[in-house]
Amino acid sequence: MTREFIDFVRTHLTEDTSRLLLSAARYPSIDMSAAVQQIEGLRTAREKWPSLLQHDEFRYPPRLNREQSSSEQTAKYKASMVRELCHNKRAITIADLTGGMGIDSLAFAQEEGIKTKVDYVEHSSELCTLMEQNRQVLGIENLTVHQADSLAWLAETNSIFDIIYIDPARRSSSGRKMTAFEDCEPNILQQMSLLLSHCRWLIVKASPMIDLHLAQTQLGSVYQVHIISVKGECKEVLFVCGSNDGETTIHCTAIQANSTNDYTFTQSQEASSEPVFCSHVKSLLYEPDAALMKGGPFNLLCQWTGMEKLARNTHLYTADQYPEKFAGRTFRVLKEIKPTRKEIATVLPSGKAHVVTRNYPVEAAVLQRQLGLKEGGDMFVIATTVGEHKTAFLCCQP
């Protein structure tokens, strides 16, 4: 990371990287493949790890490792989880067994107000080299890099950690995304005894598409489930495993640009809560955030917000006033409409709208074609079920 290299990267930050690779001969003193990797990493950092932009010498890994890495926001959330799980300890030991780019390890090491000792374990020598360099660039002294097979390393150590964090690789050799634990690498279901014997708490990161009930059954002793969304997209599902004599607590956390909403509940609380159903759709419609849709506190949402549910299996809500605490999208209802081409042509002469379907027999893309609508504009057609009645609403966002 010479000054010349850093200046080249900054100067060419907006250029086509494919063309830069083809023009490598023009810059004999620059490792062009490394420069392109750095340029693409900086572009990703704008959205994913903005605080790293202030460190010119921070080195970014290859594309796949960047894609698989946690965002800065979710990494900080996990660091705060560690604080809560070990609230009565002044010094916390953490082993990150799937180090990768190291964003989670860095967040664990930098969490303010607690003293942490982090062991970063990664089998790739390239990633370990980058992590060691980046640790020094950031001035982090409480993080140790280990190049090793993580499970073999764990089996050989005598240490008992406060926290073990593991994020099994969820891509097959052909690049296909995997969901089930048994299809990931490593298969942690085969290693639970080893993992739990070396820690107080085990945090397992899973696919956002994972079946929550099945995963809890497979893992056993699940103390908490954390479902994290960022800007309305479900990004991470985390299982905290360890001693649990009570019921599993589920946290649905919606992270937005300027706010974070956390909803905590148990399945028995949801099961014992009675939803409030609407007699008619009021002036506002609400679609819960992706974290809430994944976690499923659909009855409790009525209790928490005062909103009314459209139907038992329709996860949309309605009210005349904005609730004090709600994470999700809000729509202003303009009118109820029939989802037919004739009706649509009357209310949407532009032929453009966003189509949303919830508890409706036709998927959104199919209904959009049936209605002859193009994607775009400021209007929404929301097709759904109110009570037992299939209907649609013309809406806009406030």
Spell out the domain ranges in the chain. Answer: 3-60, 67-265, 272-396
Asked if pLDDT for residue 205 goes beyond 70, the answer is yes
Query: Per CATH, which fold does 67-265 belong to?
Result: Rossmann fold (3.40.50)
Q: What is the mean pLDDT of residues 289-299?
A: 97
Query: Residue 113: pLDDT above 90?
Result: no
Tokens for 393? 């609403």
- Taking residues 106-112, what's their average pLDDT? 94
> For residue range 319-336, what is the model confidence (pLDDT) as tens digits?
999 887 789 999 999 999
pLDDT at 176: 77
Q: Do residues 190 and 204 make contact, with C-beta atoms less than 8 angstroms apart?
A: no
- pLDDT averaged over every residue in the chain: 94
CA distance linking residue 371 with residue 342, whole number of Å:
8
- Residue 173 pLDDT > 80: no
Share of the chain above pLDDT 70, in %: 99
Residues 204, 77: Cα–Cα separation, whole Å:
14
On the 0-12 / 13-18 / 19+ scale of CB atoms within 10 A, 261 is middle
Residue 383 has pLDDT above 80, yes or no: yes
pLDDT digits (tens, 9 = 90+) for 341-353: 999 999 999 999 9
Who's near 130: CB < 8 A, 6+ residues apart?
59, 60, 61, 101, 102
pLDDT of 192 higher than 70: yes
Is residue 73 pLDDT above 90, yes or no? yes
What pLDDT shows up at residue 300?
A: 96
Asked if 154 and 95 count as a contact pair (C-beta separation under 8 A), the reply is yes
List Cα–Cα distances, 58 to 6, 17, 51, 70, 307, in angstroms: 10, 19, 11, 16, 47
Structural Rg of the chain based on CA atoms: 24
Position 243 scores a pLDDT of: 81
Q: What is the mean pLDDT of residues 51-66?
A: 95
Mean pLDDT of 98-122: 95
Residue 272's pLDDT is what? 96
Task: Supply φ then ψ for residue 316, to 5 degrees.
Answer: -125, 155
pLDDT band at 174 (very low <50, low <70, confident <90, very high): low
- Beta carbons of 192 and 201 less than 8 angstroms apart: no
DSSP 309: E
**Separation CA 244–CA 249 (nearest Å):** 10
Q: Token pair for residue 79? A: 């660091």
Mean per-residue pLDDT for 391-397?
96
- For the segment 2-21, the average pLDDT, to the nearest whole number, is 93
pLDDT digit string, tens, across residues 226-238: 999 999 999 999 9
Mean pLDDT of 363-380: 96
The mean pLDDT of 9-32, rounded to a whole number, is 92
Q: With beta carbons less than 8 A apart as the criterion, state whether 295 and 250 touch.
A: yes
**More confident of the two residues 245 and 248:** 248
Q: pLDDT value at position 178?
A: 80
Q: Kindly report the pTM of this predicted structure.
A: 0.93
